[in-house]
Amino acid sequence: MTITAAADGSALGNPGPNGWAWYIDDDNWAAGGSAHGTNNQGELQAVLELLKATAGTDEKLHIWCDSRYVIDSVTKWMPGWKRKGWRKSDGGPVLNRDLLEGIDEAMRGRDVQFSWVKGHAGDDLNEAADERANAAATAYKNKQEPRRGPGFTRATDAGAAVAASAPIASSAVAAPAAPVATAAPVETLWAEASDLLDGLDAPVDDPIEVRLALSGDEHARLRDRAEAQGVSLEEALRRLI
């Protein structure tokens, strides 16, 4: 059987009070956060906490995320970052390295898959995780203890945790990409953007101004990309060329 769970993060202010949550069903979920952090940190922490909670199981773990930053970081960019001593192609340090190293360690020897799901679009698991992550961030904003949830409670007598695959169904959501193993990249338009800079440093004599209208979801993904690289939104967009 497969453990199917959603992992999500939230930040009020980004950075600001942040929260994380993973959700399998009403009897198996957890949430937490911190007084100050980013949305990306919450997203990564949710994945790490899910991996830790299910560490005693031999079952396949299928994680649904609405953050392409998380999926691409883990399944596409991390091997290259590790080879370069946790440096990006432009020589800058990888952000959130501690969380990424924790995820890398927690995934060793396990069968883990990631799939992307559109956030705030009615997907049952994603909505449940988002609600709990946002509630945790709000609790930290109000200097209150968040609801932390029951954790991972399903286990066999032998101690191996088992959870049934939860349905991912919503008429409001376009069919998500097929599950992708960590050994293969998730279907996405992203790449390690800093790698695209190689050979493109020559000055341009006659720059051309281009105006582009982005949807809210596209703008959020660009913002996450810029934050991951430590650059401005304009620079992150420029690196796609």
Instruction: Find the domain containing 83 and state its range.
Output: 2-186
Asked whether residue 216 is domain-assigned, the answer is: no
Chain CA centroid to CA 25, Å: 19
What percent of the chain is helix, strand and coil (3-state, nearest 5)?
35, 20, 45
Asked whether residue 233 is domain-assigned, the answer is: no
Q: Which pTM does this prediction carry?
A: 0.67
Helices (H) and strands (E) in the chain, counts: 7, 6
> Please, what is the average pLDDT of the chain?
79
Decide: residue 81, CB within 10 A, 0-12 exposed, 13-18 middle, 19+ buried. buried
Q: pLDDT for 64-89, tens place per residue?
A: 999 999 999 999 999 999 999 999 98
Q: Spot the catalytic one: 9, 33, 42, 119.
A: 9
Structural tokens at position 98 = 């501690």
Asked whether residue 36 is domain-assigned, the answer is: yes
Q: Spot the catalytic one: 56, 58, 105, 120.
A: 120
Q: pLDDT for 179-205, tens place per residue?
A: 333 333 333 333 333 333 333 333 334
Nearest to 29 by CA among 48, 9, 47, 5: 5
Which pLDDT belongs to residue 170?
29
Annotation marks residue 49 as catalytic = no
Annotation marks residue 227 as catalytic = no
Annotation marks residue 66 as catalytic = yes
Asked whether residue 15 is domain-assigned, the answer is: yes
Asked whether residue 91 is domain-assigned, the answer is: yes
Number of domains in the chain: 1
Asked whether residue 58 is domain-assigned, the answer is: yes
Annotation marks residue 91 as catalytic = no
Give residue for tokens 């069968």.
111
- Judged by DSSP in three states, 50 sits in helix
